[in-house]
Amino acid sequence: MSHFPPQAGMDDDGPNEVFAELNSRPLGGWGLAQIAAGTGLAVYAMWVGVLQPGFRKVPLKLQVPYIPASKTQVHNVMALLRGRQGSLVDLGSGDGRIVLEAHQHGFSPAVGYELNPWLVRLSRFHAWRAGHREEVSYRREDLWKVDLTKCKNVTVFLAPSVLSLLQEKLQAELPDDALVVAGRFPLPDWKPCRIEGHGVDRAWAYNMHAQRQQALKKNNTHSDRDIEQTREEGSS
Ligand X SMILES: C[S@@+](CC[C@H](N)C(=O)[O-])C[C@H]1O[C@@H](n2cnc3c(N)ncnc32)[C@H](O)[C@@H]1O
HSE at residue 125, side-chain half, CA atoms within 13 A, is 8
Q: Of 92 and 192, which CB lies nearer to ligand X in the complex structure?
A: 92
Q: Of 22 and 45, which CB lies nearer to ligand X in the complex structure?
A: 45
Contact between 195 and 215 under an 8 Å Cβ cutoff? The reply is no
Q: Rounded to the nearest 5°, which phi and psi values hold at 235?
A: -80, -15
d(CA 102, CA 82): 10
Q: Of 113 and 190, which CB lies nearer to ligand X in the complex structure?
A: 113
Minimal distance, residue 92 CB to ligand X, in Å: 2
Which positions lie near ligand X, rule CB under 6 A?
58, 64, 66-69, 90, 92-94, 97-98, 113-116, 119, 142-144, 157-158, 183
HSE at residue 109, side-chain half, CA atoms within 13 A, is 12
Minimal distance, residue 169 CB to ligand X, in Å: 11
Concatenated DSSP letters for 71-111?
HHHHHHHHHHTTT--S-EEEES-TTSHHHHHHHHTT-SSEE
Q: Of 96 and 192, which CB lies nearer to ligand X in the complex structure?
A: 96
